[in-house]
Structure 1
Amino acid sequence: MTNQDFWTSIGQIITDGFTSEGLAILDKYGEQFISGRLVYKRFSPAEQHGCSAGGETHVIASLLAAAEIATDKLTAPIGSFKRELQYASEQEKRIETWARKSGCWIDNVSAFLSRQFGERIAEGGEAQIYDNGATLIMKSNFYKTEKH
């Protein structure tokens, strides 16, 4: 598969609305990306390594964000801030659609974290602290959870 074939297949998966077949292909790409069996020109080696360290969900979201966006979705002048906002909005829509279809989307993150970790008792710029009655749990904004 060429680089162009790869990105064309990603675009087709997006266009098709993330069918079960498309989701299976994305999972395969994620696994191959993490294992280093797939290397693509849009990612430097450092970017590929960092992306892989985030896990398969991060890899797939990154690939979806990197895929081309149809020019008819971007109506603002080229180089304008408004066009950048349109681009980001399209990236957000495709990632949310994929996440919902793949089952990794959480509608209410605060409620989910409270159910998982107990009552939120404090928060700061970099962390949220929960108390489940037996253990204090710190959830950082960098998605690492520590028990104390």
Structure 2
Amino acid sequence: MRQLKNRIASGLTTIDDMMALHIFSMACAFMLQSNAYALTQHGNALAFQHAVQLINDIAQRWRLNPKRQTFYRTNWGQVHIFDDCQSAPCTTTQWAQRDLTIYKKQVASLLPKGDAQLQINQNPFSLNVVVS
């Protein structure tokens, strides 16, 4: 058998390597978690901004059709179908249905859960809009 000479050990041991790798992986996991949280918050902020814009849009449409303001009502999951106002002139009631259809399609395409409810208060100039 060969005898080992006394040598001076230099460098990292396996335990030190494992600890460094563990600390590095924990730092990477923290950075990934921070990025995921930031992306989630950014998505929520964008959805909120879209919701505000959609509410302003339907409120303006509601104000522009004063004769049929009571027709601007919709519940969760309700789908509106309107006639094409390009080929023939529409009545104010049909315009209200058209506005609701366009609004519901925009809500469905821009918001995470994509649904909305519109209700009229007793005051004819008050519109309640709830989006999800």
Q: Please give the TM-score of this superposition, normalised by the length of structure 2.
A: 0.27
Higher relative contact order (CA 8 A, sep 6+): 2
Instruction: State the structure with more CA Rg.
Output: 2
